[in-house]
Amino acid sequence: MSAESLILFFIVGAFLVGIALLFSSIVPPTSTNPQKAEAYECGIPTEGLTWLQFNVGYYLFAIIFLIFDVETVFIFPWAVVMKEAGIAGFIEIVIFFFVLGLGLLYAWKKGALKWE
Amino acid sequence: MAFNIYDFTSFTQSIDEALYEWLPPFWALIVEMTIIGLVFLIGYAIIGLFLVYAERKVCAFMQNRVGPNRVGPYGIFQTIADFIKLLMKELVYIKNSDKLLFNIAPFIVIIASFMAIAAIPFAKGLHAIDFDIGIMYVIAVTSLGVVGVLLAGWSSNNKYSLIGAMRSGAQIISYELSVGLSLLTIIVLAGTMQFSEVVELQSSGWFIFKGHIPACIAFVIFLIASTAETNRGPFDLAEAESELTAGFHTEYSGIKFAFFFLAEYMNMFIVASIAATVFLGGWMPFHIGSWEGFNYVMDFIPPLFWYFGKTAFIIWLMMWFKWTFPRLRIDQLLNLEWKYLLPINLVNILIMAFIVLMGWHF
Amino acid sequence: MTSNQFMFLLFSAVIVIFSILTVTSRRILRAATFLLFVLVSTAGLYFLLKYNYLAAIQLTLYAGGIVVLIIFSILLTSHISEKLPTAGLLKKWPAALVALVGAALCIVVILQYNFPGSVVDTEVVNVRDIGNSLISYGEKGYALPFEVISVLLLAALIGAIVLAKKRKD
């Protein structure tokens, strides 16, 4: 049942956007004007390329995020059984967090968490 | 238990059985799906329109103004009028923009928020999907929305849009971690991720009281992180009007802009309902341990009232934040997440695990 | 046709179509978007198998994490607005040949194997079971791999930071 429901919600969401876009592209009156298709930069004509090279900082944060995301994914099953697991589960997660804490500390000391 | 007097399970089940009795299985499935789809579609639209109205009224209240008051009594039809106006606006295409991605972006943000709503329990027996991975599913689906934001900013061929989208992306992915980890704190206490079980377990007291100190810390972190994840003020630097015009949706016009706007408010609704469900008991009435008489009286207030009351309270808190705190800079924003919230969260999970181990929770 | 079969065909069709679009698209960001659809429908297949935990991982890590990382790394490179050049005929023919031979080999191998029809009902894997085996250290326990993963992640984190920092200098 769950997969059907997911497809259903996907389709209904797409339907909501699709029908409104279709309506909006047919019904409202349109006018063409070369000025209209210009990029909006507060009235000043746009200069140079838009798609410039970006700061490496964004990439660095994305990769640190991904590593911590993988970690969270592994903690979810642990969290569900923590109550029954007792002392063994607690010790395992302390070791797990200790190693990851080292990683965070390394990133911190190396200045990877600093925005430049 | 008396809170079962408002149980929707038998109601939804009887509809299901009646349909399968009258129709062949395939058509029964189709009809059932259509009903569910329509109910959620209408609910989604009404909640979205109401939230936009509420935002304007709360904002007016904070700034000692009246707010919308012309269309209908107290201006309640204002957002419907706005919606019709936006629907009748021409869709403008920008020179050199990537038209395909420009059109796909609003689909992605709306579908991500719509799929997340499927898992939220509104009352006993009133939810579309009840997974054993409920909380994780909502986190997973809402994380898709960021791709829509990035595509919107990139395909617009506008420098402001691109910068806004990059800032948004970095912010959303960073704060997603804190949202997940603060919910994990409560999962440790609850021992389940299924929303229906999470709510049932709170019949003897909400988790924020049961888990006392670590649960309260997790609640505060969740509020901060979810406000940031939904790109709302004071974390709205991605659409900082004074420097980036409107951020990633600068070039969007008419109904397409409306969808980004709607998705933002629906995401706020989703995080508020998760906060209400996980920390404040969802549709579960306010119960105090063994006060039988008190609990019995509370059970007569319908669960939908409890659910929407708690959610509205959290939404109101988030609106209050927006009009109280000044906007952060991007380095302050990333510092707050990586140097404060994340370490606090990790330690907080360990504290919660220790408390669960020693049995010091209620 | 049962609804399960229908959904399987739907997801597979989406995966096949968008995989082809991903590799044939001339604009790199469009390719990343098509890849997103492939990854999401793969998650749909897992949901179909009632393997919800893996599906959620697929959505969070691949669709919500890797795709964002790919988009960020595309924006990190210069000349992203240009369309990729079309490969010449000299490159096209050998590539097509290799692809065809590879596909033929796979198809032959798959067709030759006699798949026994499954009579077992789909087994629902609970998160609780996964958690229990993840932290138990006895037989069939995965406590050691669980801890080793954290070391692996630490190594990945350090490697990523070293590479990114080196690039900046």
Distances (CA, A) of B53 to B59, B67, B75, B271, C164: 10, 9, 8, 19, 46
Domain that holds residue C153: 126-169
Average pLDDT, whole number, for chain B? 84
Mean pLDDT computed over B274-280: 90
Tokens describing residue B3: 């809170």
> What's the helix, strand, coil split of chain C in %, to 5?
75, 0, 25
Please indicate, yes or no, whether residues C5 and C78 belong to a single structural domain of this protein.
Answer: yes
Please indicate, yes or no, whether residues C81 and C130 belong to a single structural domain of this protein.
Answer: no
Mean pLDDT computed over B32-50: 87
Q: Region of B74 please: left (phi>0), alpha (psi -120 to 50) or beta.
A: left
Distance CA A72, CA B180 (A): 7
Q: Which residues of A touch B154 (CB under 8 A)?
A: 51
Residue for token digits 């500390």? A105
HSE-up of residue A38 (Cα within 13 Å, Cβ side) = 12
Please indicate, yes or no, whether residues C79 and C152 belong to a single structural domain of this protein.
Answer: no
CB-CB under 8 Å, A83 with B115? no
Task: Give every CB contact of residue B232 below 8 A, 6+ residues apart in sequence.
Answer: B264, B268, B318, B321, B322
Q: How many domains does chain C have?
A: 2
Q: What is the largest CA-CA distance in chain A?
A: 71
pLDDT at position B270: 92
Single-letter amino acid code for the residue at B250: T
pLDDT at position B334: 84
Residue C106, pLDDT above cutoff 90: yes
Domains along chain A with CATH numbers: 2-109 (1.20.58.1610)
CB-CB under 8 Å, A81 with C128? yes
Residue bearing the bigger pLDDT, B245 or C41: C41
- For residue range B131-184, what is the model confidence (pLDDT) as tens digits? 888 888 898 888 888 888 888 888 877 778 888 888 888 888 888 889 999 999
Q: Which residues of B touch A31 (CB under 8 A)?
A: 90
Is the CB of residue B11 less than 8 Å from the CB of residue B125?
yes
CB proximity B94 to A under 8 Å = yes
Count of Cβ atoms closer than 10 Å to residue B278 Cβ: 31
Please indicate, yes or no, whether residues C75 and C132 belong to a single structural domain of this protein.
Answer: no
Neighbours of chain B (3+ CB pairs under 8 A): A, C
Q: Which residues of B touch C65 (CB under 8 A)?
A: 143, 173
Please indicate, yes or no, whether residues C72 and C133 belong to a single structural domain of this protein.
Answer: no
Please indicate, yes or no, whether residues C132 and C53 belong to a single structural domain of this protein.
Answer: no
- For residue range B282-309, what is the model confidence (pLDDT) as tens digits? 788 877 767 777 777 777 778 888 888 9
If DSSP codes are grouped into helix, strand and coil, which group holds residue B329? coil
Q: Which of C86, C115, C148 is the last residue of a domain?
A: C86
Q: What is the pTM of this model?
A: 0.89
Cβ-based burial of B298 (10 A; exposed 0-12, middle 13-18, buried ≥19): middle
Distances (CA, A) of C153 to C47, C71, C158, C165: 27, 22, 9, 18
Q: Is residue C61 part of a domain?
A: yes
- CATH number of residue C33's parent domain: 1.20.120.1200
- For residue range B324-351, what is the model confidence (pLDDT) as tens digits? 888 887 788 888 888 888 899 999 999 9
Q: How confident is the model at residue A87 (pLDDT cuts 50, 70, 90)?
A: confident
Count of Cβ atoms closer than 10 Å to residue B323 Cβ: 13
How close is the nearest chain C Cα to the Cα of B41, in Å?
22
Residue for token digits 């009646």? B18
Is the CB of residue B134 less than 8 Å from the CB of residue B194?
yes
Q: Which of C86, C115, C144 is the last residue of a domain?
A: C86
Q: Is residue C97 part of a domain?
A: no
Q: What is the largest CA-CA distance in chain C?
A: 60
Q: Is residue C37 part of a domain?
A: yes
Please indicate, yes or no, whether residues C132 and C82 belong to a single structural domain of this protein.
Answer: no
Q: Which of B141, B139, B262, B135 is nearest to B207 (CA)?
A: B135
pLDDT at position C109: 92
HSE-up of residue B294 (Cα within 13 Å, Cβ side) = 9
Distance CA B213, CA C141 (A): 33
Q: Is residue C101 part of a domain?
A: no
pLDDT at position C92: 82
- Percent of chain C scoring above 90 in pLDDT: 17
Is the CB of residue A66 less than 8 Å from the CB of residue C69?
yes
Q: Which residues of A touch C128 (CB under 8 A)?
A: 77, 80-81
Most C CBs within 10 Å, among A54, A55, A71, A82, to test the C interface: A54
Q: Is residue C107 part of a domain?
A: no
Distance CA A41, CA B95 (A): 13
Cβ-based burial of B10 (10 A; exposed 0-12, middle 13-18, buried ≥19): exposed
Mean pLDDT computed over B61-78: 85
Please indicate, yes or no, whether residues C69 and C150 belong to a single structural domain of this protein.
Answer: no
Q: Which of C116, C113, C118 is nearest to C49 (CA)?
A: C118
- Percent of chain B scoring above 70 in pLDDT: 96
How close is the nearest chain C Cα to the Cα of A84, in Å?
9
Q: Is residue C116 part of a domain?
A: no
Please indicate, yes or no, whether residues C81 and C3 belong to a single structural domain of this protein.
Answer: yes
Mean pLDDT computed over A50-75: 80
Mean pLDDT computed over C24-53: 87
Residue C79, pLDDT above cutoff 80: no
Q: In chain B, which residue ranges form alpha helices assigned H by DSSP?
A: 9-22, 25-62, 78-87, 99-117, 134-142, 145-155, 159-190, 195-200, 207-210, 212-229, 241-244, 254-278, 292-298, 303-322, 330-335, 342-358
Q: Which residues of C touch A66 (CB under 8 A)?
A: 61, 65-66, 69
Q: How confident is the model at residue C13 (pLDDT cuts 50, 70, 90)?
A: very high
pLDDT at position C133: 84
Pick from A58, A65, A90: CB nearest B166: A58
Q: Is residue C53 part of a domain?
A: yes
If DSSP codes are grouped into helix, strand and coil, which group holds residue C121? coil
A 32-61: CB under 8 A from B: 36-42, 46, 50-51, 54, 58, 61
Residue A1, pLDDT above cutoff 60: no
Q: Which of C35, C68, C86 is the last residue of a domain?
A: C86
Q: Which of B223, B126, B234 is nearest to B182 (CA)?
A: B223
How close is the nearest chain C Cα to the Cα of A94, in Å?
10
Residue A53, pLDDT above cutoff 80: no
pLDDT at position C121: 66
Please indicate, yes or no, whether residues C9 and C67 belong to a single structural domain of this protein.
Answer: yes
Distance CA B138, CA B222 (A): 14
Residue bearing the bigger pLDDT, A54 or A32: A32
Count of Cβ atoms closer than 10 Å to residue C107 Cβ: 10
- Percent of chain A scoring above 90 in pLDDT: 0
If DSSP codes are grouped into helix, strand and coil, which group holds residue B158? coil
Please indicate, yes or no, whether residues C82 and C3 belong to a single structural domain of this protein.
Answer: yes
Tokens describing residue B69: 């008051």
Single-letter amino acid code for the residue at A17: V
- Percent of chain B scoring above 90 in pLDDT: 10
Q: Which residues of B touch A42 (CB under 8 A)?
A: 245
pLDDT at position A52: 67
Mean pLDDT computed over B55-81: 86
Most C CBs within 10 Å, among B143, B177, B184, to test the C interface: B143
Please indicate, yes or no, whether residues C73 and C132 belong to a single structural domain of this protein.
Answer: no
Lowest mean pLDDT among B281-285, C110-114, C116-120, C161-165: C116-120
Q: Is residue C56 part of a domain?
A: yes
Distance CA B317, CA B314 (A): 5
